[in-house]
Structure 1
Amino acid sequence: MAVQKMVMCDNGVVAAVVGREHFAKVALCTMEGFSWSLSARDRWRWYDDMAFHDGRLYALTHTEDLVAFDVGYEDTGEPVVSRVEHVVHGDHAARQWHTRMHYLVTSHSGALLMVRRIMSDPGTTQRFVVSVADLASSRWVAVNKLDYGGEALFVGRLCSRAVPALEDADNIFFLDDTDGMSFRTESQPRHPYHAAVYDMASGKVSVLLPRLPLQDGKTPVTWFFPDDEEAARLMIHYNPKMTL
């Protein structure tokens, strides 16, 4: 089974989303045993992303439902999913966008963010919509600024992170990572870039790293994050309007 996403929890448990589309589950293991156990207490779902947030494991479905998983242990010491809770019910009107991706990111304010990437097809990103998980009322609340303008988001299928911004940024940096989104599409259009940035204020997409098909081939891309200060410098390098 394909591994879509893997995260390290703060208790040493490794969690992963395995499978694709409607046939995905959450699997757990430890670095000591490295024997995977599937979430037998939960049905198969279409998961788009997963994150460890505020001491709990969360997974986001393609229809924008947020599911929380509690982790327990067998007598052998192997981790297992002990409880599954449906904590946010998505707005299923979002299904009108047939091509979309979702990312889960923890804001520096402590909120859990859902970043919806809307595309006319897998090769064309139109815009992003950011929502905060209101766990008390079990709903998503749309926002038009990131942590009061104090951060930027780097999102990707394998890894996402919120990075402090020293000036109002409200930028979402994203990758050409739409390959393999569906079992049903054999040939999917590719973005003409490896990385780009979306400005939430203007709604404009700007290319950062153009694709060179002959040289680059089909190598997948992901983010590697330095510490927050270096990440902020990297962001300013691609946005000359910002200063340290």
Structure 2
Amino acid sequence: MASSSDASSSAGSNPEQPGSDIASEGTAGTGSSNVSAFVEGAGKDTGRRGRVRLRRAAVMAVPATLVAATLAVLTAQGALGVQFAISGMPFTVTATELKGTGFEQFGALDHMIEGSPNEGDTGGQVLVITSAIKTATLTNLCQSVDLGGINLLIKAGNAGTPVSATDLTTDSTEVAGDATFDDIEIGNDASTLSAAGVKGPEGVFSQQARTVRIAKLRQTNYATTAGVFKLPGLKLSFSSTGC
């Protein structure tokens, strides 16, 4: 049996604290409520911030979308020629035959970015012959660019279906082949051309024709654009030799 002193000691060391359980429960309940309120509030803030970001992104995207759409329409209408900074790396294009309807040709200047490593002694500008064709087909197309010891080679239109293009423009430093033109005009002011829908610079010598055919085509180009460019049988590869 425990002595009275032991009993008193036990009672003193473990005093009853009425209401302590209630206080603990109340504190725990308050903590849970605060956490729930915080999470709920954070969720609402995150949702609001997300909606604001989406609205801002949408507003910022509208001008870019409109600009892109406008450029696409202008290019399709032939109002723009090559309007980008060229790399300054020439590429070769060959074809067994090119046929086109709505042909124009005039001189122009292509520009590289400022300080381009490819500008050499050109000052970042290349004098080019711009050829514009409203609709064109190319049989046995080959395109190659020298990357320094290796060539990037593209071939297409060699399995019975030629490559086709609409609103095609090429900026070249050399064009060779056996050419035939129908209804040709030579000596036009480039700003008055109409056969392909592309206007050249004012006061620049040019020529245009209703149709063009070039057999054994070979070009040295710095830029090409097209509204639509279809390449059946496309094959892209690296090669030790170019076209």
Q: TM-score over 0.5 for the alignment? A: no
Determine which structure has greater relative contact order: mean sequence separation of CA pairs < 8 Å that are 6+ residues apart, divided by chain length.
Answer: 2
Report the TM-score range of the alignment, normalised by the length of the smaller protein. Answer: under 0.3
**Structure in which a larger fraction of residues adopt strand:** 1
**Structure in which a larger fraction of residues adopt helix:** 2
Q: Quick check: which has more Rg, 1 or 2?
A: 2
